[in-house]
Amino acid sequence: MVSKAQVDSSDGAERATRGPAADSEDAVVDVVGVGAAGLGSLGPDGLQLVDRAAVVVGGERHLSMLTSRPGRRLVPWPSPLLPQLRALFDEVGPGRVVVLASGDPLVSGVGATLIRELGPDQVRIHPAVSSVSLARARMGWSAEESDVVTLVGRDVDRLRRDLAPRARIVVLTSGEDAPARVAALLVEEGYADSRLTVLGDLGAPSESRTDAVAGSWGAHPVPRLHLVCIECQERPSRSARSLVPGLRDTAYDNDGQLTKRVVRAAALAHLAPQPGDVVWDLGAGAGSVGIEVARQHPRNEVHSVERDPVRVDRIRRNAKALGVPGLRVVEASSLEAVSSLPRPDAVFVGGGASAALLDACWEALAPGGRLVVHGVTVETELLLHEVRARLGGSMSRIAVEDLDTIGSLHGWKPARSIVQWSVEKLVQQTDSETLL
């Protein structure tokens, strides 16, 4: 274990050998990862950074590892953090600033926030072994056969997206009640027999482990610093939800305004979302298309627009139930909303298509972006024929018939046909080109 005295020592000879480039880099904020063992987890380079810092920023637990001394300030994080973050670093100045963070600062830590707010050239990360790596080592799980979900600062419903038979999930948590909330969610999703392992104070002498089944978790005490490992049972007691497009219609609460399963899968195939895409779902109804885009990858940014307040609430409930509580729902008409939304990589218009709306969508669409429009009326079909004549793309009529009972017999019951137009905005096409 390294003592405070070792970190607090001021060795003039050492400072003289820091190298010619060190002073020119003093304006960079160094983010030093600290393991659960405290300062003893730091190597020589990390100890040197902390020792020569003029300002050390961190949480109460990290700052308590150091003592005040002349020429060094210990500055706690402000609360709330984000609104005051820039002001904090403006106030401490461009000198030698070190931020103490837990483990790997880029694994659900403050490192990503600082890079986003200050810029990548102003932040230098010095990671310790992350809690995720330690958890995988304790569980004997490889990175390839396990997933990581962070619930730090997020709704526990986020976990629903990643539950699947035989899945192994490392869950980053916050709050001592987190394991109980995770266990309750597993029971609700039909995974009551799944095994939970709570690993506390990983890497510290006080490291602990608690194993239990989700359905009988009860009120196990857990340390403040912990994470949860989940081994999902092989066959849950309810139908598993695939990430492949086309969830069954019963997965959505709806009032009839729902893009049905087969048609929805066709729309998603043409939208072709890529990880990190910004996607608009206009005239969202029950929100099914936008929700499945959001489920496709955690980095997808979905904006669902719906003007009916009852449906807006329904979209939010559906999004939470299907593991994407971060989906943004905008209560407005589609035409009113588009000017305030970020530039999209893909747009779906599920209802209410008009010449003005399609023109606005096309102008906003990023080069290489995809626009998909559905229509059920003759008037919308005529509009789409005219648009296709100008911009190209493909048009399909989708007619689905489902088997139904006719007395004691069976027959096919046709649903209303859907006209689907889809087009990709070529890179050389300009935003000034309009539809009509």
Residue closest to 110 by CA, chosen among 129, 134, 85: 85
- Between CA 308 and CA 402 the distance in angstroms is 29
Which of the listed residues 83, 106, 129 is the one where a domain comes to its end?
Answer: 129
121-135 per-position pLDDT tens digit: 999 999 999 999 999
Q: What are phi and psi of 422, to 5 degrees?
A: -135, 145
Determine whether 410 is exposed, middle or buried from the number of CB atoms within 10 Å of its CB (0-12, 13-18, 19+).
exposed
Asked if the model's pLDDT at residue 2 lies above 70, the reply is no
Instruction: Note whether 261 and 225 are same-domain residues.
Output: no
Question: What CATH number is given to the structural domain containing 45?
Answer: 3.40.1010.10
Residue closest to 10 by CA, chosen among 39, 52, 49: 52
- Between CA 292 and CA 225 the distance in angstroms is 33
Instruction: Note whether 309 and 390 are same-domain residues.
Output: yes
* Tokens 């330690």, located at residue: 134
Helices (H) and strands (E) in the chain, counts: 14, 19
Domain limits for position 259: 249-424
Asked whether residue 429 is assigned to any structural domain, the reply reads no
End-to-end Cα, the chain, rounded Å: 72
Instruction: Note whether 158 and 100 are same-domain residues.
Output: no
Say what percent of the chain tops pLDDT 90: 77
Q: What is the pTM of this model?
A: 0.86
370-394 per-position pLDDT tens digit: 999 999 999 999 999 999 999 999 9
Query: Cα 1 to chain center, whole Å?
Result: 37
218-257 per-position pLDDT tens digit: 888 899 889 999 999 999 998 889 999 999 999 999 999 9
Instruction: Note whether 175 and 56 are same-domain residues.
Output: no
Instruction: Note whether 340 and 385 are same-domain residues.
Output: yes
396-406 per-position pLDDT tens digit: 999 999 999 99
Which of the listed residues 231, 261, 293 is the one where a domain comes to its end?
Answer: 231
147-206 per-position pLDDT tens digit: 999 999 899 999 999 999 999 999 999 889 999 999 999 999 999 999 999 999 999 899
Q: Does residue 272 sit in helix, strand or coil?
A: coil
Residue 332's identity, in one-letter code, is: A
- Between CA 73 and CA 56 the distance in angstroms is 6
Are the C-beta atoms of 381 and 395 separated by less than 8 Å? no
Instruction: Note whether 162 and 104 are same-domain residues.
Output: no
Asked whether residue 88 is assigned to any structural domain, the reply reads yes
Which of the listed residues 106, 129, 152 is the one where a domain comes to its end?
Answer: 129
- Between CA 272 and CA 266 the distance in angstroms is 10
Instruction: Note whether 47 and 107 are same-domain residues.
Output: yes
Asked whether residue 403 is assigned to any structural domain, the reply reads yes
Sequence-separated (6 or more) residues with CB below 8 Å from residue 294: 300, 302, 319, 324, 326, 327
Question: What CATH number is given to the structural domain containing 148?
Answer: 3.30.950.10
Sequence-separated (6 or more) residues with CB below 8 Å from residue 432: 363
Instruction: Note whether 82 and 162 are same-domain residues.
Output: no
Count up the domains in the chain and report the number. 3
